[in-house]
Amino acid sequence: MAPHVSPPSPPLSSSASSVASDDGEVYDINVPYKKSGNFTKQPATPYPEYLPAWEEVSFPPIQPFTYDDPALRADPKKRALLTPSVTATDISPKMGTELQGVQLSTLTSQQRDELALLISERKVVVLRDQDFADIGPEAQQNFSDYFGKRHYQPVTGAIPGYPGFHIIYRDGNQAEIERFFEQKSTANIWHHDVSYERQPPGYVLLCMLQCPEVGGDTVVASMTEAYKRLSPGFREMLDGLKATHSSQRICDFARNNGGLCRKDPVKSLHPIVRVHPVTGEKSLFVNDEWITGIQGWKQSETEWLLKYLMDHISRGHDFQVRLQWKPRTVVMFDNRSTCHTATVDYDGVYEKERHMFRLASMCEKPICVGDIEEPESQE
C-alpha cells in the first residue's frame, strides 16, 4: 500500500536542538525525531543525501498480508551463497556470522534465499566492505523488499521520495549528549524493531555510512538462548502469555516535541514466546520499548515480569554479540529471534557522526507456541 505524499517540508535546519523536549522528556539519542534534532552542528557526513527529511506523508493502517519467507525455499546447504570463495566466520558459538567474499548488491534470488536462511539460523550476519551504500536508494529498497513487505517508520526521518528508509543519525555534540545523560544512566534501549506492528519485521538491514573510529557498537541478544536458559516450568508459564505492543508513546513523543507521526498509533497483541517459522525455535518476544501490558495481568505484575526478563536478557552476555561498525558495513539480523540496543560511548572522544540507514521487511504474525501444538487454532 503506497503512502500518500504531500509537498515536502522545509529543508533541514542545522540549528541547535536536542532529543530532549523543553520539559526534559528524552527518548532515543541515536535518532532525530524532528528536522533539527541531532543537528547541533553542520553535518559532515559523506552521504548528505541520506540525511533525514520529514516529508508530509501519511501511512494508512497495514492490512493483514500473506508472507512467503524466502528462507523456506532456500537450499539448506546454501551452496549458491557459501561458495568456496566465501568465508563464513562465527562471531560467537550460537549466533552471528561474518561473511567475507559476498557483495549483497550482486546476489541472485537463490543466493538471497540462502542469505535469509543463514540469517534465520545465525540471527545476525555481518558483511564488511560492501558497495551497498553506493547503489542508490531504489536498488537498496528493492533489495530489502525481497525479504518481506516494506515497513514505513512513523516518526523518524527518511530520505526524500523513499519513506521506507529509517535514518539513524547522531553527531558527536558533547553538550547534547551530556544533557541526555543528565536523565539517563545509559543510552541502551533493548528492543525489537517496531514490534507493535501486527506483522513486525523479520529481516532488518542496517547500512553504516559514517561512524566514529571506535564506539557506537550495536549489541544483539539471542532471544532463543535467553528462552532456553529459563527453567522448564518458567518457560511453560511464559508460553501461554501474550503482551500488548504499542507505538502510542513514540507517536506522542514526536507530536509533543515538534515532530511528525505519519501513521496513527498501532497496538498489537503478541505472544511472549514466539515460534520461528524457519527454524522452529522458540524465542522470547519481549522488550523495553514497546510493551504496555500483559494480557490478563495487573500492571504491577507486568512490571515485575518484564523487569525480570529484561534484566535476564540485558545481563546475559553469554548469549549476546557486540557488533563493531565500520563505514560500508552492512548488518542483517533476524528481528524475530533477537533484540538489540545501540551504545553511546564515543562522546567527548570521537567527534565523527554516526550515520546509518535501516530498511525493514515485515513478515508473518508472530506464531504462538499454542499455534504449533494446536494447528486448528491458527489464525
Size of the site for Fe ion (CB under 5 A): 1
- Residue with smallest beta-carbon separation from Fe ion: 193
Beta strand ranges found along 115-225 (DSSP E):
124-127, 149-150, 166-170, 201-210, 218-222
C-beta of 191: minimal distance to Fe ion in Å? 6
Selected range binding Fe ion among 30-38, 97-105, 106-114, 193-201, rule: CB under 5 A: 193-201
Quick check: 89 and 97 in contact, CB under 8 A?
Answer: yes
C-beta of 235: minimal distance to Fe ion in Å? 26
Residue 379, C-alpha cell as written in the block: 489464525
Please identify, using beta-carbon distances, which residue of 241 and 290 lies nearer to Fe ion: 290
Give the amino acid at 216: G
Quick check: 267 and 243 in contact, CB under 8 A?
Answer: no
Query: For residue 65, what are the CA distances in angstroms to 41, 204, 306, 366, 377?
Result: 43, 18, 30, 13, 18
C-beta of 356: minimal distance to Fe ion in Å? 10
C-beta of 206: minimal distance to Fe ion in Å? 8
Contact call for residue 98 and Fe ion (CB under 5 A): no
Please identify, using beta-carbon distances, which residue of 176 and 193 lies nearer to Fe ion: 193
Selected range binding Fe ion among 43-51, 168-176, 187-195, 222-230, rule: CB under 5 A: 187-195
Q: Indicate which single residue of 193, 281, 334, 364 sits in contact with Fe ion (rule: CB under 5 A).
A: 193
Selected range binding Fe ion among 74-82, 186-194, 309-317, 318-326, rule: CB under 5 A: 186-194
DSSP one-letter string for 73-87: GS-TT-TTTS-TT-E
Rg of the Cα atoms in the chain: 20
User: What are the phi and psi torsion angles at 341 (to 5°)?
Assistant: -150, 150
Selected range binding Fe ion among 53-61, 64-72, 189-197, 247-255, rule: CB under 5 A: 189-197
Q: How far apart are CA 360 and CA 204, in angstroms?
A: 4
Selected range binding Fe ion among 50-58, 97-105, 147-155, 185-193, rule: CB under 5 A: 185-193
What torsion do the CA atoms of 241, 314, 216, 182 make, to the nearest 10 degrees?
100
DSSP one-letter string for 299-357: HHHHHHHHHHHHHHHHH-GGGEEEEPP-TT-EEEEETTTEEEEE----TTT----EEEE
C-beta of 84: minimal distance to Fe ion in Å? 35
Q: How many other β-carbons are positioned within 10 Å of the β-carbon of residue 67?
A: 15
C-beta of 358: minimal distance to Fe ion in Å? 7
C-beta of 41: minimal distance to Fe ion in Å? 25
Please identify, using beta-carbon distances, which residue of 74 and 362 lies nearer to Fe ion: 362
C-beta of 189: minimal distance to Fe ion in Å? 8
Quick check: 244 and 196 in contact, CB under 8 A?
Answer: no
Strand pairing category for 201-210 and 354-362: antiparallel
Please identify, using beta-carbon distances, which residue of 92 and 153 lies nearer to Fe ion: 153
Please identify, using beta-carbon distances, which residue of 193 and 225 lies nearer to Fe ion: 193
C-beta of 31: minimal distance to Fe ion in Å? 9
Please identify, using beta-carbon distances, which residue of 107 and 219 lies nearer to Fe ion: 219
Binding site for Fe ion (CB under 5 A): 193
